[in-house]
Structure 1
Amino acid sequence: MSSQDPDPEPPALRPQTLVLTLFGEYVLGRSVCVYSGSLVDAASRVDVAEHAARSTLTRMVNRGLLRRRRSGRRMYFGLTERSERILLDGRRRALETGAVNHDWDGTWTLLAFSLPDAWQRQRRDLRSQLVWAGFGPLQGGLWIAPGGPDVAPIVAGLGLDAHVRVFRAHADQLTDVAQIIRDAYDVDGMARQYDDFLARWERVAGPVPSPDPFAAKLRLVADWLQLVRRDPHLPFQHLPEDWPALHAQKVFTHLDDALRRPAAEIAERVLDMIADD
């Protein structure tokens, strides 16, 4: 792909995902708020229509992800404690933890739960949060995750302390760890997601790999974060030899570095900010 070709278009990037990515890239850690009109203009660069951008900002306020601040006749938006936690977690996964787990010490976290049949909502919420935390269902109500993720906030937040048991363990030498991973996780599906990422982004070339570095940076980071947040960070030595996450991470890092400066220059012009006093 030449530097004049259109940006890759990752599928299913919702306006909220792109707006939150924008705040993570250009607002997080700066104690500033952004003028609504400039947010609408910025969103238009990633093909989010004005009405969709404005309704997205309203929904994000209602969900506790953004807060409003009026200055004169203008409305500005800033981060909340909740959105800062989400964005810091995303930054950690994208830039620090990464997509490849080379440092696994052999420890597994085992979580067993037993809920009354009528507790369908609680069961669904628990499963959803366990997946987010890197767990996979091994059998029945037994879930596993590599390493030692802290599940206390999940269990306490759902009020399920009396129904959940958590253990740390190592697999016996008779256990086929690679097979355990395949039983608990959709390894082939994860590999396809990384392959899809590479198909979208590996072709990008040139010193500035986009006619609009700002739009490309938002799409790239949002696409990558969706991917690594779904990745349970499985031990690399027990994954297929051609595991595509390693190459995908190199592609992301290269493009993120190449886009950072030109995208920041555009952001400085496009985003109208005030100090968050």
Structure 2
Amino acid sequence: MAAIDDDENPLSLSARPQFLLLNFFGLHLLGRDAAVYSGSIIEVLDRVGVSEQAVRSTLTRMVGRGLLTRHRQGRRVYFGLTARAITVLEDGKRRIWGTGAVNRDWDGNWTLVGFSLPDTRRSDRHDLRSRLIWAGFGMLQNGLWIAPGTQDASEIIEELGLAENVSVFTAQHAKPTESADLVHKAFDTDVIAARYEAFLARWDTADPLPSLPDDLVRRLLLHTEWLQLVRQDPHLPAEHLKEDWPAIRAERLFRRLDEQIRDAATRTAAELVDEIPIGEHPGDTR
């Protein structure tokens, strides 16, 4: 079976602070015309073990990638969201709150992506596979990837410049193939389930992550880990998953914890996070 590559545990993300930064901006800036002081960002991420140097270098890279803009007020530098970042964060918000833990509305269709790239284009092949995994596709066989439902793979293909090398179409299974066979050939459901079980083990306790200083960073880590989980979940048809599928319990837990800590996290953010309205302080947007 084709396993989905695991990302690093979001509870030890000092090596990958962009995940944390994106979630921080999603929680505190999405839907608002504001920018956050770099010192506030540094202070929040220091509470989860990310160094100042790592935060500053990641912010610079995110500006370079067109995800953030800089805004100056006096000697202070603030960071706001670009249209590209808003699109990414809105997609994350939809996955967290709108998609749901189980696909109960599957119409029987599959999206298939077929490609053939020579060894001289190994890097392109790797990038395509990585993007397909991120989009919820699984490898059915060499050069043929599938995802349940009707999926739009055009943006992935266009961004990688592979339109001449990739074919995309939708189809339904036919005898002797069964849809359950496709699920278990292309996706490692044991690996997916184990991720949710790990989430439950970490967060379903009387005092989740007691070493954290406050609910602001606890909520940041909760959202970071949950978004990584749902982004790696191909959202397989419920009829082909076991009845006690752990994603259902994990989603209930996530929503309950978020409701419990949201107000305290918001109060702490109001005290700690310095921000400015972008419209009043356009400053340097390089």
Q: 1:5 is matched with which residue?
A: none
Distance 2:137 2:10 in 1: 30
Contact 1:67 1:77 in 2 (8 A): yes
Shift of 1:158: 1.8
2:215 to 209, 213, 216: 213
2:84 to 79, 82, 104: 82
Distance 1:270 1:173 in 2: 61
Say which SS state the counterpart of residue 75 (structure 1) adopts: strand
Q: 2:69 is matched with which residue?
A: 67
Q: 1:92 is matched with which residue?
A: 94
Shift of 1:9: 7.7
Say which SS state the counterpart of residue 162 (structure 1) adopts: coil
Q: 1:240 is matched with which residue?
A: 242
Distance 1:10 1:37 in 2: 22
Q: 1:156 is matched with which residue?
A: 158
Distance 1:54 1:123 in 2: 32
| 1:25 and 2:27 matched | yes
Contact 1:9 1:200 in 2 (8 A): no
Contact 1:214 1:263 in 2 (8 A): yes
Say which SS state the counterpart of residue 164 (structure 2) adopts: helix
Shift of 1:35: 0.9
Shift of 1:258: 1.1
Distance 1:172 1:204 in 2: 49
Q: 1:55 is matched with which residue?
A: 57
Gaps of 5+ in 1: 1-7
Q: 2:173 is matched with which residue?
A: 171
Contact 1:178 1:239 in 2 (8 A): no
Q: 2:146 is matched with which residue?
A: 144
TM-score by length of 1: 0.90
Contact 2:219 2:258 in 1 (8 A): yes
Gaps of 5+ in 2: 1-8, 280-286
Say which SS state the counterpart of residue 78 (structure 1) adopts: strand
Distance 2:48 2:222 in 1: 11
Q: 2:268 is matched with which residue?
A: 266
Q: 1:10 is matched with which residue?
A: 11
Say which SS state the counterpart of residue 119 (structure 2) adopts: coil
Contact 2:10 2:225 in 1 (8 A): no
Distance 1:240 1:115 in 2: 36
Q: Cα gap change, 1:247/1:85 in structure 2, threshold over 3 Å: closer, same or farther?
A: same
Contact 2:215 2:264 in 1 (8 A): yes
Contact 1:66 1:83 in 2 (8 A): yes
Shift of 1:63: 2.7
Q: Cα gap change, 1:73/1:270 in structure 2, threshold over 3 Å: closer, same or farther?
A: same
| 1:110 and 2:112 matched | yes
Say which SS state the counterpart of residue 240 (structure 1) adopts: coil
Distance 2:12 2:245 in 1: 22
Distance 1:162 1:104 in 2: 30
Contact 2:13 2:20 in 1 (8 A): no
2:48 to 40, 46, 49: 46
Contact 1:99 1:233 in 2 (8 A): yes
Distance 1:166 1:53 in 2: 39
Off by >4 Å, runs of 4+ in structure 1: none
Shift of 1:162: 1.9
Matched length: 268
What root-mean-square deviation, in Å, do the aligned CA atoms of Structure 1 and Structure 2 show?
2.0
Q: 1:4 is matched with which residue?
A: none
Q: Which moved more, 1:176-185 or 1:86-95?
A: 176-185
Contact 1:122 1:158 in 2 (8 A): yes
Contact 1:108 1:168 in 2 (8 A): yes
Shift of 1:205: 5.1
Shift of 1:160: 1.7
Q: Cα gap change, 1:50/1:154 in structure 2, threshold over 3 Å: closer, same or farther?
A: closer
Residue identity opposite 1:252 in structure 2: F
TM-superposition CA deviations, 1:138-172 (whole Å, max 9, x none): 01211111011101111222222222222211122
TM-score by length of 2: 0.88
